Amino acid sequence: MSPSTGSASTVISSSRVVSPRSAGRGVVTMSFTSNGSSRMVLYERFGRYGRVSGMSTVRLTNASYVVLGLIEAFQPATAYDLKRVAGQSVVNFWSLPHTQLYSETSRLAEAGLLHEEREETGRRRRRYTLSEEGRAELDRWRAEPVRDLCEVHDPATLKLFFGADPEALAADQIALHEEKLREYEETRAGLSEDSPRGIALALEMGIGLERHFLDFWRTTVQHSHDRA
């Protein structure tokens, strides 16, 4: 999604939540937006006897909410689990470097939005689950209205705009979109009745877009032949 163009920074709300399951961490959340693209969460650490031993902030971006959402759906999960699942789902409509998934899980756990459990033996992997604070933040984000159109980065359309031969582009584009359409349809066929509705809806959107791309390129080839 393209970010909002507003320039004002606004403090939306402030609330304090202290959870005994947060390993002695009190969480003070402050909603803060800058150009509509991020949110700040302020949190405090409490020492053994209740003294404040430190204070920091975490900046929440769309990548943060990708991690929170994936953890909610597939918890408990390691960062590697998130990388694998995202590669089969979210990256089809939201670009996200794999390395960012690893850094985000650590940041969100540090802020108290995720619970972290480390294996005591073996590979000592870190498994994450959603904390109450993380779920509240994810729910808040989901409830926010979306007033931006999707941002498109399509190299074939870019070349068309600057005068490339449509028919020369069409063959590869048709093959690519046919392959992606098959992938989406196979994924849809593998969904169970209890699969989250949001996943099914996102797949329907992807299938519709791929069919539109195919219609466009096939029609473009036909028009080129008609003019020949």
Number of domains in the chain: 2
Q: Is 13 a domain residue? A: no
Of 104, 121, 143, the one marking the end of a domain is 143
Same domain, 66 and 139: yes
Higher pLDDT, 155 or 98: 155
Q: Is 37 a domain residue? A: no
CATH number at residue 86: 1.10.10.10
Q: Is 186 a domain residue? A: yes
pLDDT, position 99: 85
Same domain, 69 and 128: yes
User: What percentage of residues in the chain have a pLDDT greater than 90?
Assistant: 46
Same domain, 119 and 170: no
pLDDT, position 224: 76
Domain that holds residue 175: 155-226
pLDDT beyond 90 at 193: no
Strands 9-18 and 39-46: unpaired
Of 143, 173, 191, the one marking the end of a domain is 143
pLDDT beyond 90 at 87: no
Q: Is 196 a domain residue? A: yes
58 with 111: CB under 8 angstroms?
yes
Nearest to 70 by CA among 138, 2, 118, 133: 138
Q: Which range has highest mean pLDDT (17-21, 180-184, 220-224)?
A: 180-184
pLDDT, position 19: 40
Give the three-class secondary structure for 29. strand
pLDDT in tens, 29-80: 444 444 445 566 655 544 444 444 444 567 898 899 999 999 998 889 999 9
pLDDT, position 41: 61
Of 91, 113, 143, the one marking the end of a domain is 143
pLDDT in tens, 149-161: 888 889 999 999 9
Q: Is 55 a domain residue? A: no
| Paired tokens of 132 | 């109450």
Q: Is 1 a domain residue? A: no
Q: Is 45 a domain residue? A: no
